[in-house]
Amino acid sequence: TVQIKASENPLAEISRQSFVQKAEPVQAESGGFAVRIFSENHIGERLFRLAVEKGWVITEMQAERQNLESVFRELTGSNEGGK
């Protein structure tokens, strides 16, 4: 998830990038825009370069990883953890 201060919503521009599989808006915590980005690769450097090119300010960037068990739970709606 990345928090960005920008004059316009960066979602469409981020979605067009070759290193992004999927991007979706999320609730921004402190103004600006927040985008959850899905990618198989580390995207920090490429996202930073895009932000500089577009004049955006990245105020927060947090990597979130899912393991196979959490993906299974999300897909099946199971929160019991094996019970």
DSSP 77: T
Residue type, 79: N
pLDDT for res 57: 96
pLDDT at 18: 94
DSSP summary character for residue 25? E
Note the pLDDT tens digit of each residue in 18-76. 999 999 999 887 778 999 999 888 899 999 999 999 999 999 998 877 666 666 777 78
pTM: 0.72
CA 71 to the chain's CA centroid = 17
> Which region, left, alpha or beta, applies to residue 39 given φ > 0 means left and ψ of -120 to 50 means alpha?
beta
